[in-house]
Amino acid sequence: MNASFVSSLSEGRAVYILYFPTSFKIHAVVVNPFRNKELSTSFLEKQFRDACQALGSVPGDLTFHVDYQTTIDAGSKYVQRMLLEYRQQHPGPVIAVIECPKLQDIKASVKALDDFPCVTLPCNARDNSYQALGWQATAGRTSMQRCAASTQWFNERISLSRYAHVPLGNFELDWLLFTADVFFSRALRDQQQVLWISDDGIPDLGGTYEGDTCFADEVIQPALTYPGAYRKVSVELKIHHLAVNSLLKSSQVDEMDGGSIGSFGNDMVPGPHATETDFDDPSLCLPAFQVLKQLIQRCISDAVSSGNVFADAILQHLYRWLCSPQSKLHDPALHRLLHNSVFRDLFEWIELEPLHYWHSLLFMDQYNFGGIQAKTLDADCADCDNDIDIISSWNIAECLPKATQDHFVLIASEFLYIPWKYMREEVAKRATIRDDTSCTPSITVMAAENLEGQVIGYLCDQISNYFAEKLLKIVSDILHHFKGKSKFDSDERSRESDPHTHKGDAALEFIKHICAVLALDQNVQHDILRMRKNLLKLVRVKEFAPEAQFQDPCASFTLPNVICSYCNDCRDLDLCRDSTLQGQEWRCAVPQCGQPYHREQMENALLQVVRQRERLYHLQDLVCLRCRQVKAAHLSEQCSCGGSFRCKEESSHFLSKMRVFLNVAVSQKFELLQDCVQWILEVR
Ligand SMILES: [Zn+2]
Ligand SMILES: [Zn+2]
């Protein structure tokens, strides 16, 4: 038997819903300081029915009641009364499932909840923002959806409780982290390993330890970029289970490398004096790593042989669990150990999911690409000509003046589309010729290579005729357009300190950007460079002058493993380039979710990174300018080879990275972070 209790509130307005599935009743209490009453029993009934149908369940024959109150206080008193009444009528075991944004407030105002064992359901922050008008209908609809979903959620929770051997009420909001923690701690105890629990993401492995932790650095996310023009079909894949795979394969890797996954590739030999850096010694966590591996193997057998959905979910979230400081058994050393075994070409348990098919792709990096995308994922689609989208996702264009951005996007798209269209026509032409002579329809390797060469030739032709002329015209237009403006240009620039505004000459920037993109195609790079040289003549800049070199103008920072508190989606956020983060509150990018990220947690994570980087900067090694060896002796002024020393990380490099954090702090109003970075940069 259970009772669900859904509530949401915003500025003196609130909706409380009491759902008693066993007595087939739904009570709605609307708190509204004004007189308008927009919720009716029939409206709620319809919404509930719709919600049940959407979930594929059959709505029972429920009775609905709606009650209006003018204050939150009166509303919670009403709820209190209803619960007490229910308790009297049903003295048997009852469990309360609560979905509510402020659990503590509700528990404080509705004392009757103390008589029930309570289970909490995670709550979406969007449920809580009411619009000014018509809010009652929206809140009513949402609450009915939540009520309908609560039954299913509760049943799942019971099965989970059976699988995990954890009492129903003991699960924390993030059940995946919690269950993985429980499993891992049981396994550690069974193997008589050290068992630690900590709330702050730093493993408590016993011993006295003071001062700051000194972990090597944040784990570098493995990212490999191969820029270029891919004018044949490319597939965008999502890889699942990479972490599980590397765990399973770790022993093999271990043997292959002669046990070297324990070492970080840098020269950290645990010395005879136990120091703080012992935390960084990966061999210390090898036994725990073994235990984890066995645990994962058990989960896999549960998921594969008995089809257990929870075991499968744990495997899917394994990586999140490993890297989240929120998990009670978080150990950064384990996380890094796993990282050392990722990407070693041993794949067994990996799932590849195709996301998009591209007919043609111009790729610079994750944030800078354009392509011709197939709209459907149907590979046999015969007539794909009308079934394409031209995608332009060029973050570098953001730095160009608004007036030239459109030109940039258009040229980049044409550079993709024109040769692609030509190739399709050629293929069609050849097909008809072949039909006439009744040859085999399969294109031989020779013919395919022929066609490729022909397309490249055509593109070269287009560059020297079409593109060169068009670009010359655009550049002279830009020069003309910005000529009169140069006087107050400096004015404009000093006002806008935002990194996204253009610096310097608009025409020069345009040339640099567009040529950098077009030169991605290796086959015609030579022609592009020749065109670039001619374009640069217009702005009187030499081909190899430093100001003519293209640099990605957007220095950024990627915060890894940001987890949505509602849907558990895990992603790495590029704080300056991710288009879903720009110009608004940081939110989960899953379309159905949109839960705002936890600001405090994010600021804290950034603060940790900044402090860690600062510490590493000050503790860095000196290297010899001549032989590149790290300085070993403490007092010598020169290397034994006679060369002089310099810092491994230059201060300009460090400061420019810090400035990225300052920009993020200012734009997101992270005051503590801003304070800290300003102090490092010595700006006030
Ligand atoms: Zn989400
Ligand atoms: Zn030297």
Q: What is the DSSP letter of 526?
A: H
Kindly give the distance from the C-alpha atom of residue 82 to the centroid of ligand 1, in angstroms, as a whole number.
34
Measure the CA–CA gap between 518 and 530, rounded to whole angstroms: 12
Phi and psi torsions of 263, nearest 5°: -95, 155
Q: Which two tokens stand for residue 601?
A: 């947690």
Nearest ligand to the CA atom of 597 = 1
| Cα(133)–Cα(323) distance, integer angstroms | 43
Ligand nearest to the CA of 622: 2
Closest ligand (CA of 625): 2
Q: What does the block give as tokens for 603? A: 């600021």
For the CA of 563, the nearest ligand = 1
- pLDDT for the residue 402: 82
DSSP string, 351-420: EEEEEEEEEEEEEEETTEEEEEEESS--TT-S--TTSEEEEEEEGGGGGS-HHHHHHHHHHHHHHHHHHH
State the distance from the centre of ligand 2 to the C-alpha of 219, rounded, in angstroms: 30
The bound ligand whose nearest atom lies closest to the alpha carbon of 641 is: 2
- Output the CA 157–ligand 1 centroid distance in Å: 20
The DSSP code sequence of 23-86 is: TTEEEEEEE-SSS-----HHHHHHHHHHHHHHHT------EEEEEEESSHHHHHHHHHHHHHHH
pLDDT at 661: 92
Looking at the CA of 571, which ligand is closest?
Answer: 1
Closest-approaching ligand to the CA atom of 568: 1
Ligand nearest, relative to CA of residue 596: 1
User: What is the distance of C-alpha 659 from the center of its chain?
Assistant: 22
Q: Tell how far the Cα of 557 is from the centroid of ligand 1, in angstroms.
A: 21
d(CA 267, ligand 2 centre) in Å: 18
Cα-to-centroid distance, 630 and ligand 2 (Å): 8
Contacts 24+ apart (CB under 8 A), 401-406: 401/482, 401/502, 401/506, 401/509, 403/478, 403/481, 403/506, 404/474, 404/478, 404/506, 404/509, 404/510
Q: What is the pLDDT of residue 53?
A: 87
CA-based R_g, the chain, Å: 31
User: Which residues touch 484 (CB under 8 Å, ≥6 apart)?
Assistant: none
Q: Which ligand is nearest to the CA of 562?
A: 1
Across the chain, which has 684 residues, the per-10-residue mean pLDDT values are 66 85 87 83 89 82 88 88 88 86 83 86 76 82 87 89 91 87 91 79 60 50 80 81 70 48 40 42 73 86 86 83 81 74 59 85 88 72 66 84 88 92 87 60 67 89 91 88 57 41 69 91 90 89 84 77 79 80 79 82 88 87 88 84 87 88 89 93 74
Give the number of whichever ligand sits closest to the CA of residue 633.
2
Distance 322 CA to ligand 1 centre (A): 19
For residue 624, report the distance from its CA to the centre of ligand 2, in Å.
Answer: 5
Q: Which two tokens stand for residue 540?
A: 């009187």
Predicted local distance difference test score (pLDDT) of residue 675: 94
Q: Hey, what are 567's tokens?
A: 């849907």
Ligand 2 centre distance from Cα of residue 651 (Å): 21
Residue 381 has a pLDDT of 52
Phi, psi (degrees; rounded to nearest 5) at 592 = -75, -10
pLDDT at 261: 44
Instruction: List Cβ neighbours of 32 (8 Å cut-off, separation of 6 or more).
Output: 13, 68, 69, 70, 136
The CA 260 to ligand 2 mean position distance, Å, reads 28
Q: How far is the CA of 266 from the centre of ligand 2 (A)?
A: 19
| CA–CA distance, 33 with 36 (Å, rounded to integer) | 9
CA of 71 to the centre of ligand 1 (A): 32
Relative to the alpha carbon of 631, which ligand is closest? 2
What single-letter amino acid sits at 445?
V
